[in-house]
Amino acid sequence: MEAPSKNLAMDLVRVTEAAALAAARWLGRGDKNSGDQAAVDAMRLSFNSLDIDGKIVIGEGEKDEAPMLFNGEHVGTGKGLAVDVAVDPVEGTNLLATGRPNAIAVVGVAPAGTMLDPGPSYYMQKLVVPAPARGVVDINAPVGHNLKSIAKALGKDVDDLVVFVLDKPRHKGLIAEIRAAGARIQLHTDGDVNGSLMAVNPRAEVDVMMGTGGTPEGVLSACAIRIMGGELFARFDPQKEDEKRAMIDAGYDLKQVYTASDLVKSDEVFFAATGLSGGSFLDGVRYTGTGAVTHSLVMRGHTGTIRYIESEHTWDKLMRFSAVKYD
């Protein structure tokens, strides 16, 4: 298998920028599907200008009956490198619709055949930790035990830790265990890719992410985690009986624990994310009198390069990539 030699990350950031520019016009307008559709259309248009032979392995839309860049769809001109593609045109559609922080547009790319196809799985249990704690945790261990181990590895007390948890009914017991251990919690309604990024980024105030989130988001997060040096431990966690039955029928082992390297089996991985609604991790799209400003994170696994990019865009580019009509 030939690994990509070109730094695709700088091409991918144009894809996430286009999605963010298109979707951000829907910020706070209460219509998550229209915002998602705008991002999908812009992302697809941008992808198809790239000289790659891309196949969507991690798409979006089926779970929420939203507009899709669907699994199996081919993107790019077809003339370049063969790659697996993971996308989330709007990670946090509810955040975008309500105008809340931390909605982002995200893309990950790796050599063809290296991304795990999650099949019919929608949900997985995840434990994401920064690099110093990657060898001291066990997803099967009690929450309190893992928190003590993480705190020791980071040179902190447990009550110094901040844990990212999705604010869902399924996490009632998890939240109680974290509080009993003495750690602090950030509860987020959506956005577990963002949570994974914060857990492995030393710039962020989050120390660990725990709980059950989307399986596609887990694979997408693994692209970034491989580059940033933290670790993801994950296990399929179907939330409904039909999802569980479909997983068993497809031959998946529900007890198997996956790491980031299991989900994405190559170091030659690329990742880009652009902020839509702003937040603690990436600033959002800011419109000006002559265009807009975006803030992005761009990474390449082969070199370990991590770039934070602020870009200015003219009205001409905004109009080309937006589903919204401009006056």
Two tokens at 116? 């795990």
Equal fold, 8-114+268-319 vs 123-263? no
pTM of the model: 0.90
Is 243 annotated for ligand binding?
Answer: no
Two tokens at 273? 């994310």
CATH classification (class only), 123-263: alpha beta
Cα–Cα nearest to 16, from 298, 323, 279, 318:
298
State whether CATH 3.30.540.10 applies to domain 8-114+268-319: yes
pLDDT of 267 reads 92
Is 169 annotated for ligand binding?
Answer: yes
Q: What is the pLDDT of residues 188-200, one digit of tens each?
A: 999 999 999 999 9
Where exactly are the structural domains of the chain? Answer: 8-114+268-319, 123-263
pLDDT of 69 reads 83
Is 294 annotated for ligand binding?
Answer: no
pLDDT of 132 reads 95
pLDDT of 92 reads 93
pLDDT of 203 reads 84
8 Å CB contact between 142 and 164: no
pLDDT of 7 reads 76
Is 93 annotated for ligand binding?
Answer: yes
Is 117 annotated for ligand binding?
Answer: no
Is 148 annotated for ligand binding?
Answer: no
Is 191 annotated for ligand binding?
Answer: yes
pLDDT of 71 reads 85
Residue 323 has pLDDT above 70, yes or no: no
Is 2 annotated for ligand binding?
Answer: no
CB neighbourhood size of 80 (10 A):
16
Is 126 annotated for ligand binding?
Answer: no
Average pLDDT value for the chain? 91
Query: Where residue 8 falls among pLDDT bands split at 50, 70, 90?
Result: confident
Per mean pLDDT, which range of 25-39, 148-162, 236-250, 307-321 is the poorest? 307-321
